[in-house]
């Protein structure tokens, strides 16, 4: 039986939620990237993956992340979204979110 939030008391939530999915961080990052791509109408593959990396992973000057690491992490999230069928690249190398009817779950 599936429950909704309204069906469960505070005590029941404590019992049901006890751990995060193993790839919880990647799923959250993927949702953020999908939101950014969707709201901007698409991103250029040639320029913007680096900026996605800056947006998601920059930690300030004290704990700086290298340019190569930013690019690698952004590429990994984009690859994850491609494998899940959530994004596509057009002939002009613009990455866009697939239409809702085509999108599969990224989790």
In a domain, 74, yes or no: yes
pLDDT digits (tens, 9 = 90+) for 46-86: 877 788 888 888 777 777 788 888 889 999 999 999 999 99
CATH number assigned to the domain comprising residue 36: 1.10.10
Cα–Cα distance measured from residue 61 to residue 5, given in angstroms and rounded to the nearest whole number: 41
In a domain, 83, yes or no: yes
The model's pTM? 0.72
In a domain, 102, yes or no: no
In a domain, 72, yes or no: yes
Length of the chain: 107
**Domains held by the chain: number:** 1
Cα–Cα distance measured from residue 83 to residue 70, given in angstroms and rounded to the nearest whole number: 20
In a domain, 25, yes or no: yes
Domain assignment of residue 26, given as a range = 20-97
Cα–Cα distance measured from residue 105 to residue 107, given in angstroms and rounded to the nearest whole number: 5
């Amino acid at each position: 039986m599936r429950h909704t939030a309204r069906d469960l008391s505070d005590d029941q939530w404590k019992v049901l939620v006890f751990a995060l999915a193993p790839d919880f961080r990647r799923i959250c990052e993927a949702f953020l990237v999908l939101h950014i791509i969707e709201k901007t109408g698409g991103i250029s593959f040639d320029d913007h993956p680096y900026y996605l990396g800056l947006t998601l992973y920059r930690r300030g000057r004290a704990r700086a992340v290298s340019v190569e690491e930013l690019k690698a992490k952004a590429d990994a999230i984009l690859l994850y979204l491609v494998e899940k069928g959530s994004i596509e690249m057009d002939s002009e190398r613009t990455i866009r979110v697939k239409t809702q009817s085509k999108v599969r779950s990224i989790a």
